[in-house]
Amino acid sequence: MEPNIAEEFEFNETEKVVFDQIRVWLNDRCGMYYPDKKQELLFNRLLRVCKNYSFNDLSELLANLHADDSVEIQLAVMSAASTNHTYFFREPQSLDYYRDVILPSLEDGDNRIWSAAASSGDEAYTIAMITAEQRGMAWTKQNFTLLGTDISAPVIVKAEKGIYKNAHLEHVPPHIFHNYFEKTGENQHRVNADIRRLCTFRRMNLKNYPYPFQGQFDIVFCRNVLYYFEEETQAQIVENLYNVTKSGGWLLTCVTGSLRYLKTSWIPVANGIYRKY
Ligand SMILES: C[S@@+](CC[C@H](N)C(=O)[O-])C[C@H]1O[C@@H](n2cnc3c(N)ncnc32)[C@H](O)[C@@H]1O
């Protein structure tokens, strides 16, 4: 039976109440904040979950979200609600800072990097490629590991595969493209095995504090995600990032995602770059 949901963006009063309950759940549970002006986007994303699970309406979705065995539906809603847009060599200003200032300062040893909202892995592999290119693959294999995490399970699967449509690769410099990608089919390439082995991916909700790591990180990339959260959640997340970073370590946010208005222990050192002293 076809789900009985209007294709158009139209709420009746009951739907609006249910919709708002899901919106509150997303904010409380994942920190994902959908203001009124973005409710059509969220509505359409929820509609897709309803269709996939043959739910008749948002009430049925909400009931399943709160059911005892709801993990699968919860993950589906989190994934549908998240915006995964990303690509290789995005926002070169912070990548250049990493290459020119941070990377030369890394000493031999266990350098642990975290891509904290990794999406399909483009950012993580970009960082690994820059590192291998600057410090050499032998040094990188010996001294560098990268963890990529994201709330959405499907993007983590994609990151682990490391296969990308060419549209994700448009900003990759030619020598990097030549050194670290292999053609795997029409219009797509795969990150080579050496780079893939440097990166591990896991599903993780940035809103679940404290973070479950045994050791601390040297560098945390948390780009293009903080602005999806309300200010209070942003502040909590950046403090939790601080707690899992080594003294002297770094935080790289996106250049437009300034922490200037947040009460934070991080010391700003450049646009979108922070340090723990
Ligand atoms: C726009 S992408 C950014 C990817 C990459 N960092 C970049 O700058 O290109 C934002 C990612 O944040 C993830 N995300 C959203 N809320 C999250 C949360 N509470 N915990 C972990 N990841 C989350 C989304 O699933 C999405 O993949």
Residue closest by Cα to atom 26 of ligand 1? 84
For residue 219, what are the β-bridge partners?
Answer: 113, 250
Q: Are residues 140 and 54 in the same domain?
A: no
Atom of ligand 1 nearest to the CA of 150: 22
Query: Is residue 238 one of the residues assigned to a domain?
Result: yes
Instruction: Choose one of 81, 102, 126: the last residue of a domain.
Output: 81
Ligand 1, pocket-test mutation among 150, 208, 232, 251, most atoms within 8 A of CB:
150
Q: Are residues 63 and 149 in the same domain?
A: no
Other beta carbons less than 10 A from residue 182's beta carbon = 11
Separation between Cα atoms, residue 162 and residue 101, nearest integer Å: 28
Convert the pLDDT of each residue in 70-89 to its tens digit. Answer: 899 999 999 999 999 999 99
- Residue 110: is it exposed, middle or buried by C-beta count within 10 angstroms (0-12/13-18/19+)? exposed
Convert the pLDDT of each residue in 151-209 to its tens digit. Answer: 999 999 999 999 999 999 999 999 999 999 999 999 999 999 999 999 999 999 999 99
Q: Are residues 55 and 106 in the same domain?
A: no
Looking at residue 6, what is its pLDDT? 42
- How far lies 95's CA from each of 76, 109, 131, 225, 269, in Å? 32, 22, 10, 17, 15
Instruction: Choose one of 48, 81, 114: the last residue of a domain.
Output: 81
Q: Are residues 266 and 131 in the same domain?
A: yes
Distance from residue 13's CA to the centre of ligand 1 (Å): 32
85: nearest Cα among 50, 117, 132, 47: 117
Query: Is residue 86 one of the residues assigned to a domain?
Result: no
Q: Are residues 263 and 185 in the same domain?
A: yes
Distance from residue 120's CA to the centre of ligand 1 (Å): 9
Distant-in-sequence, close-in-space partners of 18: CB < 8 Å, separation ≥ 6: 57, 58, 59, 62
Query: Is residue 52 one of the residues assigned to a domain?
Result: yes
Query: Is residue 4 one of the residues assigned to a domain?
Result: no
Query: Is residue 266 one of the residues assigned to a domain?
Result: yes
Q: Are residues 27 and 53 in the same domain?
A: yes
Distance from residue 102's CA to the centre of ligand 1 (Å): 23
Measured from CB, residues less than 6 Å from any atom of ligand 1 are 30-32, 82-86, 90, 117, 119, 123, 150-152, 155, 205-207, 223-225, 228
Distance from residue 79's CA to the centre of ligand 1 (Å): 10
Q: Are residues 31 and 144 in the same domain?
A: no
Distance from residue 146's CA to the centre of ligand 1 (Å): 16
Of 27-31, 62-66, 144-148, 225-229, the range with the highest mean pLDDT is 144-148
Please say if the pLDDT value at position 4 is more than 80. Answer: no
Residue closest by Cα to atom 17 of ligand 1? 151
Q: Are residues 151 and 124 in the same domain?
A: yes
Separation between Cα atoms, residue 275 and residue 248, nearest integer Å: 6
Q: Are residues 109 and 132 in the same domain?
A: yes
Within the chain, where are the H helices? Answer: 13-30, 39-52, 58-65, 71-81, 92-97, 103-105, 122-135, 137-143, 153-161, 174-180, 193-198, 231-243
Looking at residue 9, what is its pLDDT? 61
Instruction: Choose one of 35, 50, 81: the last residue of a domain.
Output: 81
Looking at residue 257, what is its pLDDT? 64
Looking at residue 206, what is its pLDDT? 96
Mean pLDDT of the chain: 93
Ligand 1, pocket-test mutation among 93, 114, 146, 151, most atoms within 8 A of CB:
151
Atom of ligand 1 nearest to the CA of 90: 9
Residue closest by Cα to atom 15 of ligand 1? 82
Looking at residue 239, what is its pLDDT? 97
For residue 48, what are the β-bridge partners?
Answer: none
Separation between Cα atoms, residue 200 and residue 134, nearest integer Å: 21
- Here the CATH number for the domain that contains residue 18 is 1.10.155.10
For residue 56, what are the β-bridge partners?
Answer: none
- Here the CATH number for the domain that contains residue 213 is 3.40.50.150
Q: Are residues 242 and 123 in the same domain?
A: yes
Q: What is the DSSP string of 49-62?
A: HHHHTT-SSHHHHH
Q: Are residues 203 and 118 in the same domain?
A: yes
Residue closest by Cα to atom 13 of ligand 1? 117
State the total domains in the chain. Answer: 2
Query: Is residue 8 one of the residues assigned to a domain?
Result: no
Residue closest by Cα to atom 19 of ligand 1? 30
Convert the pLDDT of each residue in 220-246 to its tens digit. Answer: 999 999 988 989 999 999 999 999 999
Once rounded to an integer, what is the mean pLDDT over residues 14-43? 92
Query: Is residue 5 one of the residues assigned to a domain?
Result: no
Query: Is residue 44 one of the residues assigned to a domain?
Result: yes
Tell me the three state secondary structure of residue 157: helix
Q: Are residues 211 and 150 in the same domain?
A: yes
What is the span of the domain harbouring residue 243?
A: 92-275
Separation between Cα atoms, residue 257 and residue 231, nearest integer Å: 11
Separation between Cα atoms, residue 31 and residue 159, nearest integer Å: 23
